[in-house]
Structure 1
Amino acid sequence: KMKEKRHIFAWDLLLSVALGQVLSLLICGIGLTSKYLSEDFHANTPVFQSFLNYILLFLVYTTTLAVRQGEENLLAILKRRWWKYMILGIIDIEANYLVVKAYQYTTLTSVQLLDCFVIPVVILLSWFFLLVRYKAVHFIGIVVCILGMGCMAGADVLVGRQQGAGDLLVLGGATLYGISNVCEEYIVRNLSRVEFLGMIGLFGSFFSGIQL
């Protein structure tokens, strides 16, 4: 039984790492295309890019909730927690907006590195609100992360790059991403993944449509 548990744990760990790498690749693709749009086409569409994502979530997951029966139905969820998902939806929208907007003011490398500020934000919020307890190695990782961001900002100053506004936009977006991610983890653990994605699709489409 111990061997079976270790085998399952090993596969779960490998799957988590693999999915994480796929996610990193997709995020990198978003960064490249966002930078390409802002530099080569002078496109100023940070809200529109996110709006399409929310529409897709709405079409798939919000409609799934709409056809469900009982307490997991869309209307039943809205009656109980509509204002919480409204706030979460706005936070998620502005997080996407700030980071995509930053590509107009700073380099792709700066955005990708400074976006790692989401890690200490998530760990701090998870400690206080999800009651997750971390080991010393996790805090060492946070220190390395922050040092890396500091080195990146210092390098920009040394070479005379005037991109402070872009760096601040990334840090603001990363902070909001951290809040959104912690809320997402709580909802997925205690409620359901479909409910989270459906509600984000609903409120994300509505408020990003207004902002657009």
Structure 2
Amino acid sequence: MLPEQQNQVLDAIEPVRTEPDAPTPGLVQRMRRVFNRELLLSLALGQVLSLLICGIGLTSKYLADDYHANTPVFQSFLNYILLFLVYTTTLAVRQGEENLLAILKRRWWKYMILGMIDIEANYLVIKAYQYTTLTSVQLLDCFVIPVVLLLSWFFLLVRYKVVHFVGVGVCLLGMGCMVGADVLVGRQQGLGDNKLLGDLLVLAGATLYGISNVCEEFIVKNLSRVEFLGMMGLFGSFFSGIQLAIMEHKQLLRVQWDWQIGLLYVGFSACMFGLYSFMPVVMKRTSATAVNLSLLTADLYSLFCGLFLFQYKFSGLYLLSFFIIVLGLILYSSSSTYVAQDPRVYKQFRNAGNPVTDRPTSGPLEPSVTYTSLGQEVEEEPRIRVA
């Protein structure tokens, strides 16, 4: 074989040189991608909501235990009145399609139903404390999370990944640790006279909470936060006022009014108003599911305050449950969710490595928008709108 031919054979069998692969991201870089500014901000905002719920629980406990003021409907009524004064009046002075009358003409009956759902959700859960134990309320109140997951899947068309379900499971595990700590230290307040009735009331209230939260997420992401709060203030104050006149007027007359009771009612109303005003902001950035997962830490904040105010017993399981819940929140928020506008989007989501390319060639087009778990919108190529 000639030397030239030998060189050609060697060149043919020589492995093809390629560019060096990009360096694999290290552990620190991966952690930076997960613990980004949006994730940390969302976690912090969720804990602000938990602290507001802690304030609501503490003021309610003082009113019920120390002053025998069992007036859950009146307390909710004060919150709806504040919403009416701030947000309903804001809608009343607006012009055009965002005016109060224009909104009522288009969607009055929907907001009326939503207002009644919100009122009864608050009432049922608070009422359940008279019949069952605190442990049962804490456990069964978590039923709101699967309700929100299912409603978001079928009505908001949110599509989840395995990591989201793992995050939810970890959060519920943390909640179970907290309930176990309550049992170990003997902290099971509640009479438990009719436990089955109390448990059913909690499940019914959690279901109504889930419906209300999913509707709230849809409204604040597609319409307006002020519109939602204004309509809640209008219909909430109206129907809770009727319920107050029928069910609680006698209890309200028996309250021994003084400046301390008045201050507790003011504190409760401030915390409740802050919760209602701030929750749509957090929900628009994240989702109804993420918000409800964040609220699982509210009972822990109430416990930590109770260590100093009510001499509760402490257990290391409480700290463990807090860190487990936070870990579940991080897992849930570490990956994005998708909003599927038609079955092809869901198919692409499940087969990310082999995207579907078959698309109809006719029909009205609209951009396909996905929402990450942190509420970020991403606009993709136009897809066919499904009627």
TM-score range, shorter chain: 0.7 to 0.9
**1:197 maps to which residue?**
229
1:172 is matched with which residue: 204, 207, 217? Answer: 204
2:50 is the counterpart of 1:24: yes
> 1: distance between equivalents of 2:41 and 2:80?
26
Match of 2:62 among 11, 36, 55: 36
The equivalent residue for 2:113 is 87
The one-letter amino acid of 1:170's match is: V
Is the 2:128–2:201 contact (alpha carbons within 8 Å) kept by the matching residues of 1?
yes
Indicate conservation of the 8 Å contact 2:138/2:179, yes or no. no
Aligned to 2:308: none
For 1:109 and 1:39, the matched residues in 2 are separated by 18
Q: Which has the higher contact order (CA 8 A, sep 6+)?
A: 1
User: For 1:114-129, what aligned pairs fall within 5 Å after superposition?
Assistant: 114-129=140-155
1:168 shift after superposition = 2.3
Aligned CA-pair RMSD: 2.9
CA distance in 1, matches of 2:203, 2:168: 15
Q: Counterpart in 1 of 2:75?
A: 49
Identity %: 83
Match of 2:316 in 1: none
Runs of 4+ in 1 over 4 A off after TM superposition: 141-149
Q: TM-score, normalized by length of structure 1? A: 0.84
Q: How does 1:34-183 map to 2 (within 5 A)?
A: 34-143=60-169, 162=192, 163-183=195-215
Task: Give the whole-Å Cα distance in 1 for the aligned partners of 2:64 and 2:127.
Answer: 9
Paired positions, count: 203
Compute the displacement of 1:35 (Å).
3.3
Relative to structure 1, the CA distance from residue 188 to residue 132 in structure 2 (aligned partners, 3 Å threshold; closer, same or farther) is: same
Question: 3-state SS of the aligned residue for 1:130?
Answer: coil
Asked if 2 retains the 8 angstrom alpha-carbon contact of 1:34 and 1:103, the reply is: no
* Unmatched 5+ stretches in structure 2: 1-31, 245-387
TM-score by length of 2: 0.48
Once the two structures are overlaid, the 10-residue window that deviates more, 61-70 or 11-20, is 11-20
What is the letter of the counterpart of residue 65 of structure 1? L
Q: Which runs of 5 or more residues in structure 1 are unaligned?
A: 1-5
- Provide closer, same or farther for how the CA distance between residues 16 and 143 of structure 1 changes in structure 2, counting only shifts above 3 A: closer
Deviation at 1:12, TM superposition (A): 2.4
Q: Identify the residue that residue 3 of structure 1 maps to in structure 2.
A: none
CA contact (8 A) 2:91 2:230 kept: yes
